[in-house]
């Protein structure tokens, strides 16, 4: 890895952890985009999963008093069921379906009447959320936008949302690390331990720096900015899906 690549990854790791520390979302997508630019897929996904695990663990430690543990365990129960199911199903959807699913699902969820909104605190919704998110993460590699939809519709405070969301994702990050880590080791594609430690420390620094911003932000502003981020990402995903449907051959080379 060149010096410029190492510095770029370090910078985006800090900024990504800072952004995720405020909203519990978005930052990871920035990190993954840069990692995939500089590294092979297996190495990038392995490092990404490890960094996201450590980042989420650190946010959980910082906001441990705000974690909703009953909700977390119900979510994990649904995740385990979904994970076991996916072990027996070989389903890989097309790219247009992936992008349209990630883009349209949160948009539809935000347009539903309040009593029909997918609120993760409602009876039975936490395991449903865990099941859907882990299935999407295994099948298509990500589901953060869908996860945010369930939390955005809840009455939980911003601290509880950031803390609980971080802890719920530790299981899926660990599974993804084991899967891609085996591939990376087989191909001898990995970063030196000392560099990984530096990046982990940067995630801690970014997450810690975000605490002051989150404390000063009101719940109303937190939800407003989170909703805008969800809509922005949904629009990007939907646009990509429609582009792939319209220009499958040309878009494949670009996307």
Reported as a single tens digit per residue, the pLDDT across 55-75 is: 999 999 999 999 999 999 999
- Whether the predicted pLDDT of 234 surpasses 90: no
pLDDT of 141 reads 60
Please, what is the Cα angle at 234 between 228 and 237, to 5 degrees?
145
On whether the CB atoms of residues 104 and 238 are closer than 8 A, the answer is yes
On whether the CB atoms of residues 35 and 48 are closer than 8 A, the answer is yes
**Burial call 208-240: b when 16+ CB within 10 Å, e when fewer:** eebbeebeeeeeeebbeebeebbeebbeebbeb
Reported as a single tens digit per residue, the pLDDT across 156-183 is: 999 999 999 999 988 878 877 877 777 6
pLDDT of 188 reads 65
Helices marked H in the chain: 3-23, 27-38, 41-62, 69-87, 95-111, 125-140, 144-152, 158-168, 170-186, 193-216, 219-246, 248-254
pLDDT of 106 reads 73
Nearest to 39 by CA among 65, 2, 72, 14: 2
pTM (two decimals): 0.77
Reported as a single tens digit per residue, the pLDDT across 85-103 is: 887 876 656 668 777 877 7
pLDDT of 203 reads 94
């Amino acid at each position: 890895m060149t010096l410029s690549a190492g510095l770029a990854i370090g910078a985006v790791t800090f900024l990504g952890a800072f952004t995720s520390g405020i909203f519990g979302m978005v930052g990871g997508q920035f990190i993954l985009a840069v990692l995939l630019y500089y590294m092979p897929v297996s190495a990038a996904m392995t490092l990404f999963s490890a960094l996201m695990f450590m980042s989420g663990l650190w946010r959980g430690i910082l906001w441990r008093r705000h974690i909703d543990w009953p909700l977390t365990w119900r979510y994990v129960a649904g995740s385990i069921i979904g994970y076991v199911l996916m072990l027996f199903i070989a389903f890989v959807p097309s790219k247009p379906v992936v992008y349209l699913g990630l883009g349209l699902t949160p948009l539809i969820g935000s347009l539903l009447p309040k009593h029909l909104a997918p609120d993760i605190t409602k009876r039975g919704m936490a395991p449903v959320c865990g099941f859907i998110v882990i299935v999407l993460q295994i099948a298509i590699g990500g589901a953060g936008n869908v996860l945010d939809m369930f939390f955005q519709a809840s009455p939980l405070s911003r601290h509880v949302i950031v803390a609980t969301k971080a802890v719920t994702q530790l299981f899926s990050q660990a599974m993804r690390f084991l899967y891609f880590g085996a591939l990376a080791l087989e191909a001898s594609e990995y970063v030196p331990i000392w560099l990984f430690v530096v990046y982990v420390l940067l995630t801690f620094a970014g997450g810690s720096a975000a605490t002051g911003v989150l404390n000063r932000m009101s719940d109303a502003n937190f939800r407003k900015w989170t909703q805008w981020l969800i809509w922005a990402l949904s629009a990007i995903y939907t646009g990509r899906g429609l582009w792939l449907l319209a220009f499958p051959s040309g878009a494949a080379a670009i996307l």
